[in-house]
A and B are shown apart, each in its own frame.
Chain A
Amino acid sequence: MIVADSKPLQEILAMVREYKKILIVGCKGCVTVCNVGGAKEVEVLRASLMIDGKKEGSPPDIDTMVIERQCDNEYVETLRDNIDAYDAVLSMACGVGPQFLSEAYPEQKFFPAVNTSFYGGAVAHGIWEERCAGCGTCIIHYFDGLCPVARCAKSLLHGPCGGSADGICEVSKETVCIWDTIVKKKIAQGRIEDLFVLQEPRDWRTARDGGPRRSIRETLAE
């Protein structure tokens, strides 16, 4: 899933303090699962903005709603009847949400309430980690399903760099050296020869480097 983190409140206040009637829109997708933009978080943000407004002497008028998915025009459409009643809209979805909203409602002003971080999952309660870089050409079959493109700080394709120590990446003590994990797994399975393959330079066109991407499923697009 897409993992996001809350933006600092001061940053959000700097975006919307001048507006008196605000709509906060949550999303029931990924940001609900990673506890950053679902029903609960929408109410917490509303309360925080109200407290600030009261301190400032002019509390804003804030409504909230949570839609099924902000990355789906079918659900984005549910905002249409009331959208013009607000001075500004804060989206608590990932970076996709505010854009779908902004494209659907060209007259309205939209602001993001979260920082969209990565594709990953929860490794423990309250801790999420990156697993995929969305590069568009998956090659993890070479590496026992583990991805060095996303998980090696240097995206190395041929084993651990000289900074790998005790299974930990030189960049952060919190980060596993994924190459250490891959190598140990290959050795344990007696398949170290798999890592003697020289990988061709990657075609990054399928990643963001080729420009914004589009995916067409012809059977559905018809």
Chain B
Amino acid sequence: MSDLKSGSNLEKVLKAGHFAFTGECGPPRGANVEHFTEKLSHLKGNVDAVNITDNQTAVARMSSLAASHIAIHEGLEPNFQMVCRDRNRLAMISDILGAHALGIRNMLCLSGDHQTFGNCPEAKNVHDIDSMQLIRMVTQMRDEGVFLDGDDIDLPPKLFVGAASNPFADPFEYRVYRLKNKINAGADFIQTQCIYNMEKFREFMKMVVDMGLHEKCYILAGVTPMKNAGMANYMKKFVPGMEIPDALIKRLKGVEKAAQPEEGIRFALEQVEEFKEMEGVAGVHMMAIEWEHKVPEIAERAGMLPRPSV
């Protein structure tokens, strides 16, 4: 991790050894820029970079590329998400080049939720290359300055390349190897799926550290504060790859409904405190889903402010 790969703020924060704090913001289900910039305004100055999701949950929205550009315009650094579900390699390459041209310097490579979950369930799925191959392709474009066919790129795109890791999907014993493969493919940083089962995450991170993976890549722990017990129940039942311990649901139910959001935030803050001390964790990825206005308070109470200037 010697020279800067993209020079993004996120890269510089991590490289300087600061505990990173990233946020997330979904583009609007329409062309309503104002609604989106209003949500972004709560993140400004409170996070090192903001993930701009790519048709998350397979629901068609404003493109992550356009929305990332809007984020730059609003003074935030985007982490441009790209899924393998909707683009073949031609579209990916052109969007990667376009992203760099628009000033985007971070990119997150994902498989993507299956289209049958979203609002275009009849759509043809693409999956020309998978997330592992996307990581390799974009890092090869950056580091070797070549396209897939070996032709030179006239000004290679310099992007800080991330990938996701879900320690809570099955088979558990393979998850650390999948992470290792993503690092070997070229991932510079990892953002994990939302963590609720801390015991399992500790076990996962122990394997990561034992294998030395944290020294090859920055790992950001994913946190989504629960708004209430209903949200926890819904996620447990309906969101694939989520693991919500009964103890957390019990804890949320244990307080009055009006106090449940605060209880959810408290749990998230306790998590952040533990992540700060956990070996191998380089930061937190705070996904306050449709709760962006709570991010300033969460960042403040988590001791994440002010964000470092690097």
Binding site for B on A (CB under 8 A): 153-167, 170-171, 177, 180, 183-184, 187, 192, 195-196, 198-202, 204
- B194: min CB distance to chain A, Å: 11
Q: Are B132 and A163 in contact (CB under 8 A)?
A: no
Q: Are B84 and A154 in contact (CB under 8 A)?
A: yes
- B282: min CB distance to chain A, Å: 20
- A196: min CB distance to chain B, Å: 6
Name the contact of B177 in the complex, choosing from A159, A162, A200, A204 (C-beta under 8 A): A159
Name the contact of A160 in the complex, choosing from B84, B132, B169 (C-beta under 8 A): B169
A163 CB contacts on chain B under 8 angstroms: 113-114, 169, 240-241
Instruction: State the main secondary structure of chain A at its contact with B.
Output: loop
B127 at interface, CB cutoff 8 A: yes
Bound CA span A198–B185, Å = 7
Bound CA span A157–B181, Å = 12
* 11 chain-A/chain-B pairs, Cβ below 8 angstroms: A156-B127, A156-B131, A159-B178, A161-B166, A162-B241, A171-B116, A184-B171, A195-B174, A195-B177, A198-B133, A201-B148
Given A162-B164, A163-B114, A171-B114, is A154 in contact with B130 using a C-beta cutoff of 8 Å? yes
Q: In the complex, how many residue pairs between chain A and chain B have their CB atoms under 8 Å apart?
A: 103
B233 at interface, CB cutoff 8 A: no
B240 CB contacts on chain A under 8 angstroms: 162-163, 165, 170
B112 CB contacts on chain A under 8 angstroms: 154
Q: Are B130 and A156 in contact (CB under 8 A)?
A: yes
Binding site for A on B (CB under 8 A): 84-85, 89, 111-114, 116-117, 125, 127-133, 136-137, 148, 164, 166, 168-171, 173-174, 177-178, 180-181, 184-185, 193, 240-241
B170 CB contacts on chain A under 8 angstroms: 160, 164-167, 177, 180
B166 CB contacts on chain A under 8 angstroms: 161-162
Q: Are B130 and A204 in contact (CB under 8 A)?
A: no
Given A171-B114, A184-B171, is A201 in contact with B85 using a C-beta cutoff of 8 Å? no
Name the contact of A165 in the complex, choosing from B114, B127, B130, B169 (C-beta under 8 A): B169
Residue of B nearest to A155 (CB): B127
B113 CB contacts on chain A under 8 angstroms: 163
Given A171-B116, A196-B177, is A201 in contact with B89 using a C-beta cutoff of 8 Å? yes
A202 CB contacts on chain B under 8 angstroms: 128-129
Given A201-B89, A201-B137, is A165 in contact with B241 using a C-beta cutoff of 8 Å? yes
Name the contact of A153 in the complex, choosing from B114, B137, B173, B180 (C-beta under 8 A): B114
- A109: min CB distance to chain B, Å: 29
A154 CB contacts on chain B under 8 angstroms: 84-85, 111-112, 114, 125, 127, 130
A192 CB contacts on chain B under 8 angstroms: 174, 177
A153 CB contacts on chain B under 8 angstroms: 114, 125
Bound CA span A177–B125, Å = 17
Bound CA span A159–B185, Å = 13
Q: Are B114 and A196 in contact (CB under 8 A)?
A: no
Bound CA span A102–B136, Å = 47
